[in-house]
Amino acid sequence: MESCSNASNVEHVCHVFMNYDDSEVKKNLASHLQRCLSRNGLHVFPNQRELQGGDNSRAALKEAKVHIAIFSTGYANSSQCLNELVQMLESGSTVIPVFYNVSPSDLRWTKEGNGVYAQALSMLQGKKTTDSETHEEKALYCSNTIGKWRKALFDVAGKSGFVLDAYNGDEGKLVYKIVKRVLKKLKNHFYYDVFINHRGPDAKETFASHLYHCLRAHGLRVFLDIKEMQKGEIITSQIHRAIQGASIHIAIFSENYADSIWCLDELSLMFKSQSTILPVFYGVEPSVLRSYSKCLKEHEEHKISNCETDKKIPRHDPGKIAEWRNALSEVSKIDGFNLEKYDGDEGKLAHQLVQKVLYEIVTQNAAK
């Protein structure tokens, strides 16, 4: 496998796409960088959970808003790394070059230079293959492809990036600086401090709205669907990104919460993200989580007609209902905030919740 960009699974969203040669940086710099980005709530392709084999890198490359290209001495030996680099630059998204034991000049002078990248492209240009029809020998890579690779390397060398030598070989400092740059770039795209999960008719214009503005007043970036949606974007895609990027999730459980499959889907994604979840019981007791089983049963029994066979089939996938049930079961184990304990005073509840959110964020930042 030439490049670590091979993987068998791409999750709902990819924030950062990493491009590098497996043999030199996969188990050191790339591994540390990937894990550090993930700890900041970002989904990175490839990540440590993805299996080798298959190739969904094209989808991840297209989705990512930031691309990181780690240039090592053996990078240009990989046609896959070079092809990905061309696509990264064509995507229009941010490309951050990282020069790992090579210099930008190695990338600039690949036609007449004598550096490792010039030698690698010369080797690739000289590779031959046999035509399956004529059985004649021909160049494995056409001159147009080689030209695109050279131009991509030259162009990316001029971008603002990071050189390991500038940090006296300290990879820890290098990773810290790269992550800081990525978070700054992504802040306006995906990063949220808090995601508020709620059923609109029950709480959107009351408690959820007050809480949203209280959190914003403390300088936090908060996702509350209608307020944060961007025009022209698929709703589910943006919500998935917001959930995966948020440090804190607040689930506001109301009487009719479980009637909404959107609420249940979001709750399931919140648990998968492994970020902190703060349950709020708004006009209901914590025991309501058990009573939601009736709603789940109704979702389970909901049938629709198959347009081809005209037979009744389940409206919702059984596996998804199982995920909803598991999420509700898990959240029932978390100490939450009950409006009843504050004598129905929503202002007091919001204040205490905001203090908890601030504490959690400070604690998370200290841990990082």
The DSSP line for 153-209 is HHHHHTS--EEGGGGTT-HHHHHHHHHHHHHHHHTTTT--SEEEE--HHHHTTTHHH
77 pLDDT band, cuts 50/70/90, is very high
Last residue of a domain, one of 186, 202, 219: 186
Say whether both 286 and 217 belong to one domain. Answer: yes
Say whether both 137 and 209 belong to one domain. Answer: no
Q: What is the CA radius of gyration of the chain?
A: 25
Residue 53 pLDDT exceeds 90: no
Say how far apart CA 93 and CA 248 lie, in whole Å. Answer: 27
pLDDT per residue over 103-151, tens digit each?
999 999 998 888 999 999 999 999 999 988 888 999 999 999 999 999 9
Say whether both 169 and 26 belong to one domain. Answer: yes
Say whether both 77 and 150 belong to one domain. Answer: yes
Say how far apart CA 1 and CA 249 lie, in whole Å. Answer: 38
Q: Is 3 within a domain?
A: no
Q: Is 110 within a domain?
A: yes
Q: What is the dihedral of CA 317, 61, 241, 335, to 10 degrees?
A: 80
Q: Are 247 and 276 in contact (CB under 8 A)?
A: yes
Q: Which one is predicted more confidently, 211 or 184?
A: 211
Q: Is 7 within a domain?
A: no
Say whether both 279 and 130 belong to one domain. Answer: no
Say whether both 219 and 352 belong to one domain. Answer: yes
229 pLDDT band, cuts 50/70/90, is very low
Last residue of a domain, one of 140, 155, 186: 186
For residue 46, is the peptide bond before it cis, meaning its omega torsion is within 30 degrees of 0?
yes
What residue has token string 């459980």? 253
Say whether both 202 and 176 belong to one domain. Answer: no
pLDDT score at 238: 73
Average pLDDT over residues 28-36: 94
Say whether both 149 and 259 belong to one domain. Answer: no
pLDDT score at 55: 54
Say whether both 199 and 165 belong to one domain. Answer: no
Say how far apart CA 281 and CA 253 lie, in whole Å. Answer: 5
42 pLDDT band, cuts 50/70/90, is confident
Q: Is 11 within a domain?
A: no
Q: Are 326 and 292 in contact (CB under 8 A)?
A: no
Residue 294 pLDDT exceeds 50: yes
3 pLDDT band, cuts 50/70/90, is very low
Q: Which one is predicted more confidently, 186 or 50?
A: 186
pLDDT score at 50: 45
Closest Cα partner for 208 from 233, 187, 226?
Answer: 226
Chain center to CA of 64: 8
273 pLDDT band, cuts 50/70/90, is confident
Say whether both 208 and 278 belong to one domain. Answer: yes
Q: Is 79 within a domain?
A: yes
Last residue of a domain, one of 169, 186, 203: 186
Mean pLDDT value across the chain: 86
Q: Is 222 within a domain?
A: yes
Query: Containing domain of residue 351, as a range?
Result: 194-367
Say whether both 178 and 216 belong to one domain. Answer: no
pLDDT score at 312: 72
Residue 59: give its domain's CATH number: 3.40.50.10140
Residue 15 pLDDT exceeds 90: no
94-99 and 128-130 as β-strands: parallel, antiparallel, unpaired?
Answer: unpaired
303 pLDDT band, cuts 50/70/90, is confident
Q: Is 39 within a domain?
A: yes
Task: Please name the amino acid found at residue 139.
Answer: A
Give the DSSP letter of residue 19.
E
Q: Is 1 within a domain?
A: no
Percent of the chain with pLDDT over 70: 86
Percent of the chain with pLDDT over 90: 61
Say whether both 63 and 176 belong to one domain. Answer: yes
What is the SS3 string spanning 249-317?
EEEEECCCHHHCHHHHHHHHHHHHHCCEEEEEECCCCCCHHHHCHHHHHHHHHCEEECCCCCCEEECCC
**How many domains does the chain contain in total?**
2
Q: Are 127 and 193 in contact (CB under 8 A)?
A: no
pLDDT score at 43: 80
